[in-house]
Amino acid sequence: MLNKLEEWNRGAKKWLWLLVIIGVIASLAVTVQRVQTEQSSKQVEVVMDYRDLIDVSLYQVNPTAYLNERLDLLKEAGVQSMAVFESSLRELENAKRIYLYNSSQVAMLQGKLPSMTENFTYVLFNSEEEAKQLAPMIRSTFTQLEVVVRDWKLEGKVGLVLETPMEFATLQALPHDPMALELLASKGFAIVPRLSDSVPYDAEQVDKQLEQFAQLGVKRILFDGESVKGFTDDEETKSLANFAELLKKHQIGIATIEGLKAPQKGFNRLAYLIDYNVVRIHSIGESESFNEPEVLGDRMALAVKDRNIRMFYLNAMVKRDAKKNIVVDSTDNLIRSMQEPGKGLAMIAEDGFSFGQATPFEVVDASWQRYAKALVVVGAVALIALLLSYFVPFVMLPAFVLGLIGTAGLFVLKKSGLLEQGLALGAAISAPTIAMILAIRRIEMSPRITSIGRRLGLAIALFVRTSLISLIAVPFVIALLNNITYSLVLNQFRGVSLLHLAPIALTALYVFLYRGESVFKEAKRWLAMPITVLWVLSLGVVGIIGMYYLSRTGNAGSVSSLEMAFRTFLESTFGVRPRNKEFLLAHPMLLAGAFIALRYRWGSFLFIIAVIGQLSMVDTFAHIHTPVMISLARTLLGMGLGLIIGVIAMVIWTVVERCWEAWRPKFEQ
């Protein structure tokens, strides 16, 4: 029965390859629309934290004059927008809108003894204009909190008495400072409000708030805190759905902050409800704002080009200069980073982007995509089944049939996300592994060749052929994960560690066990070998290298300052940065391994390392938030540089080989 099944598998293999090719063609059609989507948003917005400017101004002799000067300089440098938080009594005091006193302080101002039975908060407005604009919102906020609010005057100035301790009063969130909004609008800044979920959701009040924002030209809001507006009350009042409807009514979108330790609660659902009117924002932290201007400028340019960032959030702070005994702030440094010649905003403009309020991607999703994706799914299942056939030949057809049944089941159960993720991971593992297996087979089927020129040509041809087979996975990954949630990093490709390990393990398994007469005989031969100290040390070294390799996968790995400098050099030289492990290690290892193995079969063991480059090329495209064209340029550049270094490695090996052949007779005497 097994022999019959194996015979059917051999006959069906070419048909599965045909399905893979059809899947690739369908994937490429979807990829074209992915590229069109990525090119639909080309406007970049630079946002400054207005609260930080207020805090910095407190260290100046004339805070108001300083604030006005900074606003003008930032506007001239290229900042289009100001982020404005919900205010508080303490922030209004910092902005010199009001003065705050407790009961004891008021008593002293009036020449009286402090009351032992009263601990209220007294608010005194700086002028009648402040009283006119701020008193209603303060009164309304604290009345909702069931705090008694009374009018109060001191030396001709009007104020309010809040019958609550100052410690409580200063913690309460107030609406955005209307006077700050007017000031910023008058200076030509767009407003990016920051909303919190700290107070109960009031649909009517939120509607009025968003209407005011719309009148100010607000196009996008940011959330402050761990959750989006309305999340806390959603279970009881369906507030998220209401908030989404209000956002759509007033044509206001939201922004997702890159690099948060945990997503803001409710963000993904809200994004879905507003049809993904979302852009990605990259934040430059307070301490980072003192980094070298050219470093910050490069960082901004790379974020736009490489990660689909369309908004920047600039923070500022002060620090003490011990040498000069003065306090300096980082706003000047931020301005220089944006105006750095050939860097920062200039580099962003050179890459074809303009500046203004950020707009979301316009998703290109033709009706035929669903049919194309069905072909992609079948092709991915076929590719995975083909991989299995190289290890257990008779399971190919059953695996293909069961795979189709499983995908149909997930589709019926509406588990399309799990289906797409699983097939994308399977295709990403399968293609580079198959490519390496076919390369090993090609070497094994070839006679031993001594001609250097022929070995050089065959090694280069094998490198190109292997890379092309590995890249079969790329259109599958792109098509299967062609969803705006991946581009916005609201959803991410899972299984990165498995992708970085499985092809290496499977290639090693094939090299060790599948090149001999039978798998069982090869396994028995390896198991019968005596364990020596050298073997133990070698395994230890392999383990350490493996742990380091895994620590460098994904986005969490850290790099040294030397490597960062090398990355910057590559970026500035080529425009995109190829992956070091591809062109410095894995691609040259594949070329050198093939060159050696064509004469000395032990060279095939180098393919275990070389597969890293093949899987890395596929992994590059699994970073869905990186534009396809950037990933393509990075991959081709890595192949080109790897080919050059690989040719150099083959030349060096040739010299070593010739020297050994010349010296060996002397050693054998």
Model confidence over 40-55: pLDDT tens digits? 999 999 999 999 999 9
pLDDT of residue 565: 74
Q: What is the mean pLDDT of residues 514-535?
A: 70
Tell me how crowded residue 508 is: count the other CB atoms within 10 A of its CB.
Answer: 17
329, containing H or E segment: strand 326-329
Query: How many whole angstroms separate alpha carbon 603 and alpha carbon 595?
Result: 8
pLDDT of residue 553: 62
pLDDT of residue 538: 58
pLDDT band at residue 341 using 50, 70 and 90 as cut-offs: confident
Q: Is the pLDDT of residue 555 over 70?
A: no
Task: Point out which residues pair with 174 in neighbouring strands.
Answer: 87
Q: Is the pLDDT of residue 526 over 70?
A: no
Query: How many whole angstroms separate alpha carbon 20 and alpha carbon 22?
Result: 5
Tell me how crowded residue 609 is: count the other CB atoms within 10 A of its CB.
Answer: 18
Query: How many whole angstroms separate alpha carbon 220 and alpha carbon 407?
Result: 39
pLDDT of residue 325: 73
Asked whether 144 and 162 are in contact (CB, 8 A), the reply is no
Query: How many whole angstroms separate alpha carbon 578 and alpha carbon 13?
Result: 35
pLDDT of residue 326: 78
Q: How far is CA 584 from CA 422, 469, 581, 645, 649, in A?
A: 31, 21, 6, 7, 11
Give the tokens for residue 225.
């805190």
SS3 194: strand
pLDDT of residue 333: 94
Q: Which of 75, 202, 182 is nearest to 129 (CA)?
A: 182
Q: Is the pLDDT of residue 80 over 70?
A: yes
Highest mean pLDDT among 104-118, 270-284, 398-412: 270-284
DSSP tally for the chain: helices H, then strands E: 29, 14
Q: What is the mean pLDDT of residues 96-115?
A: 90
pTM: 0.87
Asked whether 565 and 625 are in contact (CB, 8 A), the reply is no
Q: Is the pLDDT of residue 25 over 80?
A: yes
Report H helices in 598-627. Answer: 607-622
Query: How many whole angstroms separate alpha carbon 44 and alpha carbon 281?
Result: 10
pLDDT of residue 342: 74
pLDDT of residue 85: 95
Query: How many whole angstroms separate alpha carbon 235 and alpha carbon 15?
Result: 52
Q: Exposure string (b/e) for 367-402, b if CB count within 10 Å is 16 or more? A: eebeebbebbbbbbbbbbbbbbbbeebbbbbebbee
pLDDT band at residue 343 using 50, 70 and 90 as cut-offs: confident
Q: What is the mean pLDDT of residues 71-92?
A: 95
pLDDT band at residue 556 using 50, 70 and 90 as cut-offs: very low
Asked whether 49 and 437 are in contact (CB, 8 A), the reply is no
Question: What single-letter amino acid sits at 181?
Answer: L
Q: Which of 458, 399, 455 is nearest to 430 (CA)?
A: 399
Chain centroid offset of residue 666 CA: 59
Backbone dihedral angles phi then psi of residue 472, each to the nearest 5 degrees? -55, -35
Q: Is the pLDDT of residue 398 over 80?
A: yes
Q: What is the largest CA-CA distance in the chain?
A: 112
Question: What single-letter amino acid sits at 287?
Answer: S
Residue 196 or 666, more confident? 196
Tell me how crowded residue 153 is: count the other CB atoms within 10 A of its CB.
Answer: 9
pLDDT of residue 628: 94
Query: How many whole angstroms separate alpha carbon 19 and alpha carbon 430?
Result: 15
Which of 107-111, 168-172, 270-274, 289-293 is least confident?
107-111
Query: How many whole angstroms separate alpha carbon 345 and alpha carbon 46?
Result: 9
Mean pLDDT (the chain, rounded): 89
Chain centroid offset of residue 207 CA: 33
Asked whether 359 and 279 are in contact (CB, 8 A), the reply is yes
pLDDT band at residue 340 using 50, 70 and 90 as cut-offs: confident
In this structure, are strands 326-329 and 318-321 parallel, antiparallel, or unpaired?
antiparallel
Q: Is the pLDDT of residue 516 over 80?
A: no
Give the tokens for residue 243.
């908030």
pLDDT of residue 548: 56
Residue 347 or 529, more confident? 347
Asked whether 24 and 60 are in contact (CB, 8 A), the reply is no
Query: How many whole angstroms separate alpha carbon 311 and alpha carbon 333?
Result: 19
Cβ neighbours of residue 142 closer than 8 Å, sequence gap 6 or more? 149, 162, 164, 169, 172
Q: Which of 435, 502, 424 is nearest to 470 (CA)?
A: 435
Domains of the chain: 2-39+364-668 (no CATH), 43-86+176-355 (3.20.20), 89-174 (no CATH)
Asked whether 345 and 314 are in contact (CB, 8 A), the reply is no
Contacts 24+ apart (CB under 8 A), 106-111: 106/154, 109/154, 110/154
Q: What is the mean pLDDT of residues 403-424?
A: 84
Q: What is the mean pLDDT of residues 567-579?
A: 81
The terminus-to-terminus CA distance of the chain in angstroms comes to 58
Per-residue pLDDT reduced to its tens digit, 291-313: 999 889 989 999 999 999 999 99
The count of residues in the chain is 669
Cβ neighbours of residue 584 closer than 8 Å, sequence gap 6 or more? 642, 645
Cβ neighbours of residue 502 closer than 8 Å, sequence gap 6 or more? 429, 433
